[in-house]
């Protein structure tokens, strides 16, 4: 039987290889390598990763596929097939100061190569082309998938190796320091270390993790209502600053606090007593809300992991919905559109719970659905509209992290 997922990967591989035939220096005889890195959906644990907390993501069957070949020198040529755009830059003197010279999308590629250079790799010029099935702007980490694909491809082309965790950290550094988005490690970690059929319970401080099997009785749907979102232009970085300020203020009462991971519900009383004040330009009332979300969300992550292991599906759904309520009321990153859709989805057949996923201010919704009702849920969700437009809706399944799809000689491309 034909595998539609594999067929999709094969089609994207062919498209990127064909794009390389139109690259400058296409006559090079160097072999072409293709890699695929997945997007991710986070079951629970939103805005906890950069607070040294816990998260529970899974890599999903949507990918960024990139092909490339070495061509010597120091120049990199890269084509984004979905945008029909190209960019060129030199590896010599590559630094975050030069990020502004590049299109937004090319900064993820250049930043990752810059980060690999910081790891000590001597990279040569390359011709690269990529496409993908990870929808952009939906909170599914298309940027992390692009970074991890770039990193793995560059390493493979140079016959070099880097431990998966180090690759994830290099990709995160690219997004933090080159692109300028203060993300945590979760997205790049999942794109690198995802396991088929499993979610990853990740401690973002120690980076210890364990893979938890997803019960076969569950199906995950991603629902993206019609709307727009841009992470770098949103309040994501502001929320991170608020969390850092909350931790700094709490450290006055509890010196061992280095991040909100170290805070308990009892510790929050210190902030409650100062809600009429400000701290480093932030109302303490706001800092209290942000800290409370992180503290309670960490607890929900651990509780949901236990519920998965015990097969308590109703508990899984309840915790997912509670996470959304906290993101809406305490962390204040939801939108009226997202809230309306969450409320509508949880009343559809088989839906156990739903919540906003991603950095917020738009994005997508994760719906946790009983497998036997998945068809009815999908049919009815497809009929929901916003302003006369239907949502982008699809089921997803957990898959492995970044992989090399193959290597072919010039004559085979």
Q: Indicate which residues carry an active-site annotation.
A: 187
Q: Are 359 and 331 within 8 A, CB to CB? A: no
Distance CA 76, CA 64 (A): 19
Distance CA 335, CA 289 (A): 17
> Can you tell me whether residue 103 is helix, strand or coil?
coil
Query: Based on the number of CB atoms within 10 Å of its own CB, is 196 exposed (0-12), middle (13-18) or buried (19 or more)?
Result: middle
What percent helix, strand, coil does the chain show, rounded to 5? 45, 25, 30
Residue with tokens 């644990």: 45
> What count of other Cβ atoms lies within 10 Å of the Cβ of residue 346?
19
Q: What is the CA radius of gyration of the chain?
A: 22
Residue-by-residue DSSP string for 203-220: ETTT--EEEEEPPTTEEE
Q: Are 307 and 318 within 8 A, CB to CB? A: no
**Which of 391, 367, 378 has its CA nearest to residue 43?**
367
């Amino acid at each position: 039987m034909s595998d539609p997922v594999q067929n999709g990967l094969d089609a994207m591989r062919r498209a990127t290889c064909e794009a390389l035939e139109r690259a400058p220096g296409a006559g090079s005889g160097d072999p072409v390598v293709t890699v695929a890195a997945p997007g991710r959906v986070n079951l629970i644990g939103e805005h906890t990763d950069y607070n040294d907390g816990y998260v529970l993501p899974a890599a999903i069957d949507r990918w960024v596929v990139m092909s490339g070949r070495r061509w010597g020198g120091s120049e990199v040529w890269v084509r984004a097939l979905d945008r029909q755009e190209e960019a060129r830059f030199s590896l010599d003197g590559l630094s975050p100061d030069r990020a502004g010279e590049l299109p937004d999308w090319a900064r993820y590629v250049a930043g990752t190569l810059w980060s690999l250079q910081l790891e000590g790799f001597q990279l040569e010029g390359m011709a690269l082309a990529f496409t993908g099935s990870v929808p952009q702007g939906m909170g599914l980490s298309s940027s992390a998938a692009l970074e991890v694909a770039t990193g793995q491809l560059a390493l493979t082309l140079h016959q070099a190796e880097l431990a998966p965790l180090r690759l994830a950290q290099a990709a995160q550094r690219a997004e933090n320091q080159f692109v300028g988005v203060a993300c945590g490690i979760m997205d790049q970690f999942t794109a690198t270390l995802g396991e088929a059929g499993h979610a990853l319970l990740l401690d973002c401080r120690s980076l210890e993790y364990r893979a938890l099997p997803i019960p076969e009785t569950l199906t995950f749907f991603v629902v993206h209502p019609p709307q727009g979102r841009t992470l770098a232009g949103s309040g994501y970085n502001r929320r991170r600053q608020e969390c850092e300020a909350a931790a700094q203020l709490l450290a006055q009462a509890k010196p061992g606090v280095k991040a909100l991971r170290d805070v308990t519900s009892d510790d929050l009383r210190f902030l409650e007593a100062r809600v009429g004040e400000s701290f480093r330009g932030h109302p303490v009332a706001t800092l209290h809300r942000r800290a409370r979300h992180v503290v309670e969300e960490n607890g929900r992550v651990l509780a949901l992991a236990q519920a998965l292991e015990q097969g308590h599906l109703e508990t899984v759904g309840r915790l997912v919905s509670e996470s959304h309520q906290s993101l809406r009321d305490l962390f204040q990153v939801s939108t009226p559109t997202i809230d309306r859709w969450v409320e509508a989805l949880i009343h559809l057949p088989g839906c156990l719970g739903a919540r906003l996923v991603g950095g917020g201010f738009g994005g997508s919704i994760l719906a946790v659905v009983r497998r036997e009702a998945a068809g009815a849920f999908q049919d009815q969700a497809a009929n929901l509209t916003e302003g006369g437009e239907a949502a982008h809706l699809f089921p997803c399944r957990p898959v492995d992290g970044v992989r090399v799809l193959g290597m072919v000689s010039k004559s085979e491309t």
